[in-house]
Amino acid sequence: MKNIYIFLFAFTLSMTLTNCGEHSHGHNHSHEEGHAHEACSHDHSHAADAHEHKHEHTHDTHNHTASEAAHSHDEEPIMLTAYGETLELFAEVGKLQAGEESFILAHLTTLSNFKPLDIPEVTFTLTVNGTASEYTAARQKPGVYRCHIKPTKGGKGTITCKATINGTPTTVATPVSVCSGGHHHHEHEGDNHEHGTNMVTFPKEQSWKIDFATAAVENRTINNVVKGVGKVSNAPENVTTLVAATNGKVFYGNSVAVGRNVKAGESLFALETGDVTDSNAAIKYAEAESRYNYTKAEYERKAELVKSKVVSLSDFQATEADYLQAKAVYENLKKNFNGGKMLLKSPVTGYISDIAVEAGDYVTEGTPLATLQRDGELKLFCEVSVRHAAALRNLNDVNIELNDGRCYSLAEAEGRIVGVGRAIQNDCNMIPVTIMVKNLDGVVPGNIVNMYMISPADGMNIVVPRTALVEEMGRFFVFVQHTPVMFEKRPVIIGVSDGKNIQLLNGVKPGERIVTTGAISLKLAQGTGALDPHAGHVH
Under 8 Å between Cβ of 352 and 256: yes
Q: Does residue 19 lie within any of the structural domains?
A: no
Q: Does residue 227 lie within any of the structural domains?
A: no
Report d(CA 283, CA 421) in Å as an integer: 51
Task: Specify the CATH number for the domain of residue 295.
Answer: 2.40.50.100
Q: What is the CA radius of gyration of the chain?
A: 40
Q: Does residue 445 lie within any of the structural domains?
A: no
Which has the closest alpha carbon to 518: 493, 487, 472? 487
164 shares a domain with 36: yes
pLDDT in tens, the chain (539 residues): 444 444 444 444 444 434 433 333 333 333 334 444 444 444 433 333 433 333 333 344 344 433 444 444 456 789 999 999 999 999 999 999 999 999 999 999 999 999 999 999 999 999 999 999 999 999 999 999 999 999 999 999 999 999 999 999 999 999 999 998 655 444 444 454 455 568 999 999 999 999 999 999 999 888 888 999 999 998 888 899 999 877 888 988 878 899 899 999 888 998 887 654 445 566 776 788 888 899 999 988 888 888 888 888 888 889 999 999 988 887 777 766 666 677 888 888 999 999 999 998 999 888 999 999 988 899 999 999 888 888 888 898 999 999 998 999 999 999 999 999 888 766 778 899 999 999 888 898 889 999 999 988 777 889 999 999 999 999 999 999 999 999 999 999 998 888 889 999 999 999 999 999 999 999 998 876 544 444 445 55
Report d(CA 36, CA 28) in Å as an integer: 12
Q: What is the pLDDT of residue 309?
A: 84
Report d(CA 41, CA 50) in Å as an integer: 21
Number of H helices, E strands in the chain: 7, 38
Structural domain boundaries enclosing 107: 26-192
134 shares a domain with 68: yes
E strand spans, 94-209: 102-110, 115-116, 121-128, 131-141, 144-149, 155-165, 168-178, 187-188, 199-201
Task: Specify the CATH number for the domain of residue 85.
Answer: 2.60.40.1930
Q: What is the pLDDT of residue 483?
A: 95
Under 8 Å between Cβ of 44 and 23: yes
Question: Which of 332, 349, 373 represents a domain boundary (last residue)?
Answer: 373
Report d(CA 247, CA 242) in Å as an integer: 14
217 shares a domain with 141: no
Q: How many CA atoms lie within 13 A of 369 on its CB side?
A: 31
Q: Specify the amino acid at residue 142.
A: P
Q: Does residue 518 lie within any of the structural domains?
A: yes
Report d(CA 283, CA 277) in Å as an integer: 7
DSSP state of 387: G
300 shares a domain with 249: yes
57 shares a domain with 162: yes
Q: Does residue 511 lie within any of the structural domains?
A: yes
Which has the closest alpha carbon to 190: 115, 81, 284, 66? 81
- Tally of domains within the chain: 3
Task: Specify the CATH number for the domain of residue 533.
Answer: 2.40.420.20
Q: What is the pLDDT of residue 311?
A: 85
E strand spans, 278-377: 337-338, 341-345, 350-355, 362-363, 368-373
Question: Which of 355, 373, 391 represents a domain boundary (last residue)?
Answer: 373
Which has the closest alpha carbon to 92: 538, 539, 483? 538
Q: Does residue 16 lie within any of the structural domains?
A: no
Question: Which of 373, 403, 422 represents a domain boundary (last residue)?
Answer: 373
88 shares a domain with 179: yes
Handedness of CA 216, 217, 219, 225 (dihedral sign): positive
Please state the separation of Cα 445 from the chain's center in Å.
24
259 shares a domain with 212: no
Q: Does residue 423 lie within any of the structural domains?
A: no
Which has the closest alpha carbon to 397: 535, 527, 272, 499? 499
177 shares a domain with 128: yes
Q: What is the pLDDT of residue 50?
A: 35
174 shares a domain with 67: yes
CB atoms under 10 Å from CB of 512, counted, come to 18
Dihedral of CA atoms 245, 250, 253, 256 in degrees, nearest 10, equals 100
Please enumerate in sequence order all residues whose Cβ is within 8 A of that of 4, keeping only pairs 6 or more positions apart, or say none: none
366 shares a domain with 294: yes
**CA 314 → CA 298, 301, 306, 310, 325, distances in Å?**
14, 15, 10, 12, 17
149 shares a domain with 207: no
161 shares a domain with 85: yes
Report d(CA 351, CA 377) in Å as an integer: 15
Report d(CA 410, CA 277) in Å as an integer: 57
257: exposed, middle or buried (C-beta count within 10 Å: 0-12, 13-18, 19+)? exposed
Q: Does residue 118 lie within any of the structural domains?
A: yes
